[in-house]
Chain A
Amino acid sequence: MQITLDVNGESRTADVDEDTPLLWVLRENLGLSGTKFGCGIAACGACTVHVNGTAVRSCSVPASSMQGQKVTTIEGLAPREQPHPLQAAWVAHQVPQCGYCQSGMIMAAAALLARNPQPSDAEIDGGVTNICRCGTYERVRRAIHSVAQAKAEGGAP
């Protein structure tokens, strides 16, 4: 079926099966490969994108059900020349190792901060449940806190 999606502020169309997950439409039809395939069952979070600002695991939602929603991927989180504060913090804290899960990790963290600018450790634990096999978790936590703190202090992270 022909579907029309609003992805990163652009209207995009694709001809796919009705049950095709958003993940595969983003990656294969729209060429947005920053969103990663990890498990296919919404268990790992590598495929996390924003739908109307909320973190969604794109491997487990049909793209056809996303028509009319605002989809944001890692490529659309911020302009390349003006990174999202989390992206800058990720570099400052040298968070990624292999990096494969980090698009999803950053998208989950961005959605968390958008609804809760000053999350506690427990709220970070609950809001970012992505799997990273390289074990970057503590740096993820530090990076999120640094952005929250910078925002609280009104400056750049």
Chain B
Amino acid sequence: MNKWTRRTFIATGSLVGGGLALGIAGIAFAPNRLRVVPDSRDGTPQLTTWVKIGADNTVSVVVPHCEMGTGVHTALAMMLAEELEADWNQVRIEEAPGTDDYANGYLVRVFVPVVASVPRYMERGIDFATFKLMQLMDMQVTGGSSAVRGTGHLGMRLAGAAAKVMLVEAAAKQWNVPAAECTAKLSRVTHAGSGRTLTFGELAPEAARLKPPVHPPLKSRDDYTIVGKPTPRLDIPSKVNGSATYGVDVTLPDMVYATIAASPVFGAKLVSVDSAPAEALPGIKKVVKLDNAVAVVADSYWRALKGVRALAPKYADTGQDAATSDTIYAAIGAALDREKGEDVFSSGKGSAALQGAAKLVEAEYRVPFLPHATMEPMNATARIAEGRCEVWTGVQDPLAARKTAAEASGLAPEQVTIHNQQLGGGFGRRLPGVMDFVEQAVRIARETAPAPVKLIWSREEDIQHDFYRPAVVGRYRAALSDDGKPAAWVSRFNIKDAAARLPYGIEHQDIRAVEAPTHVRVGAWRSVAHTQHGFFTESFVDELAHAAGKDPLAYRRELLANAPRHLAALEKAAAMADWGTPPAAGRGRGIAVVESFGSIVAEVAEVEIVDGRVKVHRVCAAVDCGDVVNPDTATAQIEGGIVFALSAALFNEVTIAGGRVAQSNFHDVPMPKLADAPGISVEFIRSGATLGGLGEPGVPPLAPAVANAVFALTGKRVRSLPLRV
């Protein structure tokens, strides 16, 4: 995939030549993000911020998101090409540079309800405001399952539609006919009456002189020819022959290599380190002391690694050396005992409604810290020379990386360039706020300047210095009425998030979060708080169903009268899994439904106990994300989410001993493999609802569906993960 650097831009410009740019330079002065600004710098025709049209009729979609395997590059290009009436075979993709111009305001619009849907006259103003906000916050994020429903739905379609209007107008002017008599199709504009026709590439220079419409008409869903059809991802061919370039593959002239060991106990400062044992080894260039880590620079990664392993750095006492997972869980428990907590949601009489209940059900659940363990270990290559800092890495937010690198280098953001590469997995580990590897690489590069340095973390460093999914304890109480339905639901946990809210109709609710910070670094892990709350809520509802003596599906059905999309997803997943007929002997089924990132996913898991371990044979997933842009990629995201969730449900955890992470690599952080992968069926419900995300929503229902299946099979309720029987 091409990167949109000035150099390649000029190179392509010279090939396509004679064009125009409808660009972004004027953006700060106009609320219309599509404003046309001729780009005299290189002459490449660019219609709106997101699309360039070459004289050879290629359409290059400039996508302001990274590609970490979710297929967003292809999906967003499809959305733009659809409205543009482009010939898909001539569409190319370029990742946008990490600059202010590509800050993603649309992220705000998918997460802030008040601006999600606004009157038409306000739309462009809201777009401008949210865009400016994201610029100020250095946000060019790929996360929150937001690319398709945000940038794609709100931005790419608009950009494609505006460019089409301009191309049609340009043709109409040239032919001196009404624009209404001209139609765009397959990268051509045609005048039906006269049969005259011109390619987009031929029209682009004239089109670029026109003012883009603020409210271009968008196509009806019924007229789509690209969106909604399974379309091969454009990044896949390079991923089967070794030619795809990830951050770790970047090579520069005169480059040196570094690896690092940070303080094993989180937060400890480096006191001293004797560099001699490393320096005595061949190929070692430098031992670099950082605030909380020591790095070794060498002429190869292997030598740098041997150098780091030869060192015995001393770190200051943080007072956390005795911390263990047990003490952390105890501290969370104490906070739950002690604190009233902050209100997440309450209704009716709240917890007072537990008094005098016909039946009271209580349960405590807990989930451990979890690593992201992206297959590509953390890495960044940095060069500081001639008053500039350049960084080659793969991150979920190049603008935030630019800020991180600016701070670490002491340069201004304008003096920093991020060359974002493909990501060997993200899952939240490469988001803003957790780019310690970028900061480290730049700090090391200050010592190696002007030579560039490639910092590669060992897998041990990755497992022990992640920003983990938080360990959470949840306490649940419910009062059942005589008919078995829950009259009151009371919950307490140590992760505040709206993910704790219920789709179920329960009159009295009291949902609160307490604070129980630990010294362990935490961050967003694919599907964020929904992974913990999905497990808690859907396990507890299942417990209530069994306490009421009812079928778990039938019980949920009764409580979802006002949540038709949840109900439809449940019914579909149940039908896919033949819920009504008993499973084969020795197998059990469990069901769960979770809404996250605007999508509702119901999953049925079928399990067996094999050699004392849970084996998940089959998962049926029904997904309502409103509509589907690229069906096969969408399916792949749900499949992947289920396997990712399986790692948390059955396979691994990070525990703390002596204040540090006890595990270090895949031998003690086991992952599901081919032999463990269930058969997965995915079906989409095209409800027509507002588009939801897909990168994350497949994850949350899996763990509770499996735990509920284990209960159905064994009668044993497992309330902690990873699930052991």
Q: Is B327 an interface residue (CB 8 A)?
A: no
CA–CA, A44 to B237, complex, Å? 23
CA–CA, A97 to B643, complex, Å? 13
A-B pairs, top 8 by smallest CB distance, nearest first, are: A34-B242, A135-B643, A100-B424, A99-B239, A97-B69, A98-B69, A137-B677, A125-B675
Select A37's contact among B69, B248, B642, B673, beta carbons within 8 Å. Answer: B248
Select A132's contact among B375, B426, B641, B666, beta carbons within 8 Å. Answer: B375
Interface residues of A in 1-55 (CB under 8 A from B): 16-17, 19-21, 24, 27-29, 31-41, 43-44, 46
Q: Tell me whether A17 and B282 are in contact in the complex, defined as CB-CB below 8 angstroms, given that A91-B240, A125-B674, A128-B674 are known contacts.
A: yes
B239 touches A94 (CB 8 A): no
Select B673's contact among A100, A102, A130, A138, beta carbons within 8 Å. Answer: A130
Select B302's contact among A17, A137, A139, beta carbons within 8 Å. Answer: A17
Instruction: Kindly list chain A residues whose C-beta atoms are within 8 Å of the C-beta of B456.
Output: 37
Q: Tell me whether A44 and B303 are in contact in the complex, defined as CB-CB below 8 angstroms, given that A75-B242, A126-B675, A136-B640 are known contacts.
A: no
Instruction: Kindly list chain B residues whose C-beta atoms are within 8 Å of the C-beta of A136.
Output: 636, 639-640
Q: Tell me whether A137 and B674 are in contact in the complex, defined as CB-CB below 8 angstroms, given that A28-B301, A31-B251 are known contacts.
A: yes
Q: Tell me whether A135 and B640 are in contact in the complex, defined as CB-CB below 8 angstroms, given that A75-B242, A80-B241, A99-B422 are known contacts.
A: yes
Instruction: Kindly list chain B residues whose C-beta atoms are within 8 Å of the C-beta of A40.
Output: 458-460, 665
CA–CA, A139 to B666, complex, Å? 23
CA–CA, A17 to B246, complex, Å? 26
CA–CA, A139 to B672, complex, Å? 15
A137 touches B458 (CB 8 A): no
Select B236's contact among A35, A39, A94, beta carbons within 8 Å. Answer: A94
A37 touches B300 (CB 8 A): no
Interface residues of B in 226-242 (CB under 8 A from A): 232-233, 235-242
Q: Is B509 an interface residue (CB 8 A)?
A: no
CA–CA, A34 to B422, complex, Å? 13
Tell me the minimal C-beta distance from B674 to chain A in angstroms: 5
19 contacts between A and B (CB under 8 A): A16-B302, A35-B242, A36-B376, A39-B666, A40-B460, A41-B666, A44-B375, A74-B242, A83-B240, A96-B69, A96-B236, A97-B640, A98-B375, A99-B244, A130-B674, A134-B69, A135-B646, A138-B677, A140-B674
A138 touches B232 (CB 8 A): no
Instruction: Kindly list chain B residues whose C-beta atoms are within 8 Å of the C-beta of A101.
Output: 375, 424
A37 touches B377 (CB 8 A): yes
Instruction: Kindly list chain B residues whose C-beta atoms are within 8 Å of the C-beta of A75.
Output: 241-242
Instruction: Kindly list chain A residues whose C-beta atoms are within 8 Å of the C-beta of B300.
Output: 16, 20, 24, 28-29
Residues of A participating in the B interface, judged by any CB pair closer than 8 Å? 16-17, 19-21, 24, 27-29, 31-41, 43-44, 46, 73-75, 77, 80, 83, 87, 90-91, 94-103, 106, 124-126, 128-141
Interface residues of B in 383-422 (CB under 8 A from A): 422
B674 touches A36 (CB 8 A): no
Query: What residue in chain B is nearest A90 (Cβ atoms)?
Result: B240
Select A38's contact among B236, B283, B377, beta carbons within 8 Å. Answer: B377
Q: Using a Cβ–Cβ cut-off of 8 Å, how many residues does chain B contribute to the interface with A?
A: 66
Query: What residue in chain A is nearest B667 (Cβ atoms)?
Result: A43
Tell which of B242, B376, B679 has the most Cβ of chain A within 10 Å. Answer: B242
CA–CA, A98 to B426, complex, Å? 9
Q: Is B102 an interface residue (CB 8 A)?
A: no
Q: Tell me whether A134 and B239 are in contact in the complex, defined as CB-CB below 8 angstroms, given that A39-B665, A41-B459, A125-B674 are known contacts.
A: no
Instruction: Kindly list chain A residues whose C-beta atoms are within 8 Å of the C-beta of B242.
Output: 32-35, 73-75, 103
Select A138's contact among B69, B301, B639, beta carbons within 8 Å. Answer: B639
CA–CA, A30 to B460, complex, Å? 26
A38 touches B422 (CB 8 A): no
Tell me the minimal C-beta distance from A89 to chain B in angstroms: 9
B644 touches A135 (CB 8 A): yes
CA–CA, A133 to B652, complex, Å? 13
CA–CA, A139 to B236, complex, Å? 13
CA–CA, A28 to B246, complex, Å? 14
Tell me the minimal C-beta distance from B341 to chain A in angstroms: 34
Q: Is B115 an interface residue (CB 8 A)?
A: no
Interface residues of B in 281-322 (CB under 8 A from A): 282-283, 300-303, 306
Instruction: Kindly list chain A residues whose C-beta atoms are within 8 Å of the C-beta of B303.
Output: 17
CA–CA, A77 to B242, complex, Å? 10
B632 touches A94 (CB 8 A): yes
B240 touches A135 (CB 8 A): no
CA–CA, A73 to B242, complex, Å? 9
* Mask of B208-243 contacts with A, CB within 8 angstroms, 1/0: 000000000000000000000000110111111111
A131 touches B671 (CB 8 A): yes
Q: Tell me whether A138 and B424 are in contact in the complex, defined as CB-CB below 8 angstroms, given that A39-B666, A97-B69 are known contacts.
A: no
Select B69's contact among A99, A106, A124, beta carbons within 8 Å. Answer: A99
Select A100's contact among B71, B236, B375, B459, beta carbons within 8 Å. Answer: B375
B251 touches A33 (CB 8 A): yes
Query: What residue in chain A is nearest B456 (Cβ atoms)?
Result: A37
Interface residues of B in 508-555 (CB under 8 A from A): none
Instruction: Kindly list chain A residues whose C-beta atoms are within 8 Å of the C-beta of B235.
Output: 99
Interface residues of B in 12-52 (CB under 8 A from A): none
CA–CA, A133 to B456, complex, Å? 19
Query: What residue in chain A is nearest B645 (Cβ atoms)?
Result: A135
Q: Is B364 an interface residue (CB 8 A)?
A: no
CA–CA, A74 to B460, complex, Å? 26
Q: Is B70 an interface residue (CB 8 A)?
A: yes
Interface residues of B in 421-466 (CB under 8 A from A): 422-427, 456, 458-460
CA–CA, A50 to B524, complex, Å? 37
